[in-house]
């Protein structure tokens, strides 16, 4: 039976892991899919990525690592991704996964020149989303955001789908079935606040108002809607 593959590229903060579970748990919860329809593969331990034939879709998680570290497991995953895109397998890269997908297809990733971007923030959608399967929404969304690196240059042929005040490449589409989103559709306000608190010193050092960021965190429905739409694209739910 074909399964949805979740490529696990990292784990959350230890206290969140104990209380709330990990990235893949939040993704599955947001999608509303059954665990036996999913295969979770932690690539950091050297696990071999599967053949493409048994996969109905791919989600690449976030990570505390950086794409620019060029870790062996990250480079192996980057080498596998073009084959999935070429075969038209629906693919969703989240945060690190968004950056890794862009890098794997010829884009450029590095430290965000505008600094760290944390909080429940406005993400503006481009005209291209009007006909997009995943992101056909009103012109702007409030999303959970948490990153220090960014996609600095999109791969050739990619379509920009969203931007924010500090990041012009919040989302993109490549070859009609491969999406990258810098924001976190699987996060809620509690998780975002935890990350802001964890990186408080770094944010303060950049001159950011951490208390304002914390006060601005709130739950929105858009993230789970996006995850449910992706589940529908791969044939695992009725979607939204």
Q: What is the DSSP string of the chain?
A: --EEEEEE-----HHHHHHH--HHHHHHHHHT--GGGEEEEEGGGTPPPPPGGGEEEEEE---SS-GGG--HHHHHHHHHHHHHHHTT--EEEETHHHHHHHHHTT-EEEE-TT--EEEEEEEEEPGGGGG-TTT--SSEEEEEEEESEEEEEPPTT-EEEEE-SS-S-SEEEETTTEEEESS-TT--HHHHHHHHHHTHHHHHHTT--HHHHHHT----SHHHHHHHHHHHHTTSS---
- Mean pLDDT, residues 60-83 taken together: 98
Establish whether 122 is a catalytic residue.
no
- Mean pLDDT, residues 101-113 taken together: 98
Backbone phi, psi, residue 169, to 5°: -120, 60
pLDDT for res 183: 98
Does residue 159 register a pLDDT over 60? yes
pLDDT for res 239: 45
pLDDT for res 7: 98
Q: How confident is the model at residue 47 (pLDDT cuts 50, 70, 90)?
A: confident
Q: How confident is the model at residue 161 (pLDDT cuts 50, 70, 90)?
A: very high
What pTM was estimated for this model as a whole? 0.96
Domains of the chain, with CATH numbers? 3-233 (3.40.50.880)
How many CB atoms are closer than 10 A to CB 231?
27
pLDDT for res 1: 73
Backbone phi, psi, residue 107, to 5°: -80, -175
* Set 95, 117, 217, 224: catalytic member: 95
Q: How confident is the model at residue 156 (pLDDT cuts 50, 70, 90)?
A: very high
* Set 98, 146, 147, 186: catalytic member: 186
Establish whether 95 is a catalytic residue.
yes
Does residue 238 register a pLDDT over 70? no
Query: What does the longest C-alpha to C-alpha distance in the chain come to?
Result: 51
Does residue 145 register a pLDDT over 60? yes
Q: How confident is the model at residue 138 (pLDDT cuts 50, 70, 90)?
A: confident
* Set 98, 147, 184, 224: catalytic member: 184
Task: Please tell me which residue, 240 or 70, carries the higher pLDDT value.
Answer: 70
Establish whether 184 is a catalytic residue.
yes
- Mean pLDDT, residues 195-201 taken together: 97
Average predicted confidence (pLDDT) for the chain = 96
Considering Cα of 142, then 7, then 12, then 112, what sign does the dihedral take?
A: negative
């Amino acid at each position: 039976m074909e399964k949805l593959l979740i490529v696990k590229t990292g784990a959350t903060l230890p206290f969140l892991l104990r209380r709330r579970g990990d990235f893949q748990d939040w993704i599955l919860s947001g999608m509303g899919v059954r665990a036996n329809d999913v295969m979770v593969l932690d690539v950091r331990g050297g696990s071999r990525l599967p053949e493409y034939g048994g996969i109905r879709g791919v989600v690449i998680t976030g990570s505390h690592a950086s794409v620019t570290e060029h870790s062996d497991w990250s480079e192996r995953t980057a080498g596998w991704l073009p084959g999935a895109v070429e075969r038209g397998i629906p693919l969703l890269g989240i945060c690190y996964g968004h950056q890794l997908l862009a890098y794997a297809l010829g884009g450029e990733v590095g430290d965000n020149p505008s600094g760290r971007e944390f909080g429940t923030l406005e993400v503006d959608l481009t005209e291209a989303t009007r006909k997009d399967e995943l992101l056909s929404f009103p012109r702007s969304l409030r999303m959970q955001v948490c990153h220090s690196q960014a996609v600095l240059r999109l791969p050739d042929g990619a379509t920009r789908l969203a931007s924010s005040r500090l990041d012009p490449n919040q989302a993109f589409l490549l070859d009609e079935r491969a999406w990258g989103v810098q924001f976190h559709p699987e996060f809620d306000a509690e998780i975002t606040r935890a990350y802001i608190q964890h990186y408080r010193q770094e944010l303060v050092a950049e001159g950011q108002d951490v208390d304002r960021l914390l006060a601005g965190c709130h739950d929105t429905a858009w993230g789970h809607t996006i995850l449910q739409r992706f589940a529908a694209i791969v044939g695992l739910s009725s979607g939204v």
